[in-house]
Structures are given as structure tokens and as C-alpha cells.
Amino acid sequence: MSRHRIGGWRIDVERREGVPRIVPAVALARVVGRALEGGSAPSPASISLILSGDRELAELNATHMGHTGPTDVLSFPLLPPDVFRSGGATPTFALPPGRLPHLGDVVVSVERAIEQAVSGRGGHTGDVRWSPADELRLLVTHGALHVCGWDHAEPAEEAAMRALERKLLGSPGRPT
């Protein structure tokens, strides 16, 4: 595991054994930091990014979402969405000295990111062909925004979330 300080956040990046290194951990921590800033996450706080594969994502997907098979990204927010809409104020609750409030965890299947990019099924729309690194950055951004209370269940929510993702990734149509 590697620990990174980005803005007011501690971002822990864990890469499971055997998972390809297509983007350096520090670069992914920066992606998470931008998403936390864009999502008005409170700080100081911590978040975990776990880079895994299809097998673990399939298990998590079945256990937590009731769906069969792997998915590309799952988020496990620990704070209610209204915390993120309060202007980024750190929640006030008792913690042991030196401990940060934990925002949640994001788990990404790097295996799925690679497959989606190579097959041209990336970019959330299922019809974008770009590098596996771009797809991974998109999935990390997407997962971090979910931790911040963003959702895409309704069309207006989806449009707003996709627009913020494009803005955070640095281009109107594709990640950079």
C-alpha cells in the first residue's frame, strides 16, 4: 500500500497482487484528489483506492449489490451525501487522536478497465476506444465521486455526473 497526501486528503492506494501497473499509484492518488475536490469532500479526511481484478469485483458485486459477475468499479461511501453538500466542512464526531474521518473505499477492476478499453467498450457509453490508462482514470474518478454522494440513477443526475467527470479529467469528451 502507498499513502499519498493530496490537498487535505490522505489517499491510500492498494494494488492487489498480480494487478497490472498501468498508471502509477501517485498519479491515481492525484485523480482521486481532483474528484474529492470536485465532489466537495470534507477535509482533512482519508479515502482508500483498491486496485483489483474481476474475481474480487464479482464477489463484492454479488455480496453488496446482489448482481452476478464482475463490474468495473464499486464505491463504499461511509458518510451521508449531505456532508458533501455542506461546503466541504469536516464532519464533527469523536475520533481517536491523530485519526482522520474516513470517506470510504473505491475498488476498481483493472482487468475490466483494460478489457473495456481494448474492446472499445469504455467511457461509460460502451462505445469509446482509448487507452487502458484513460479508462482506469475514468473509473477511479467515477468511484470517488460516488463516495462524495454523486449518483447517476436519474437522467439529470447522470448528465451532471458525466459533465463533472469530463471536467475533472481535463477534456470535454475524453480523459487526458
pLDDT band at 94 (very low <50, low <70, confident <90, very high): low
Dihedral pair phi/psi, residue 67, rounded to 5°: -110, 145
Burial of 76 (0-12, 13-18, 19+ CB in 10 A): middle
Residue 46 has pLDDT above 70, yes or no: yes
Residue 142 has pLDDT above 80, yes or no: yes
Position 140, amino acid: V
Res 27: pLDDT? 98
Query: Please, what are the domains in the chain?
Result: 2-88+98-169 (3.40.390.30)
pLDDT band at 104 (very low <50, low <70, confident <90, very high): very high
Res 76: pLDDT? 97
Give the global pTM.
0.90
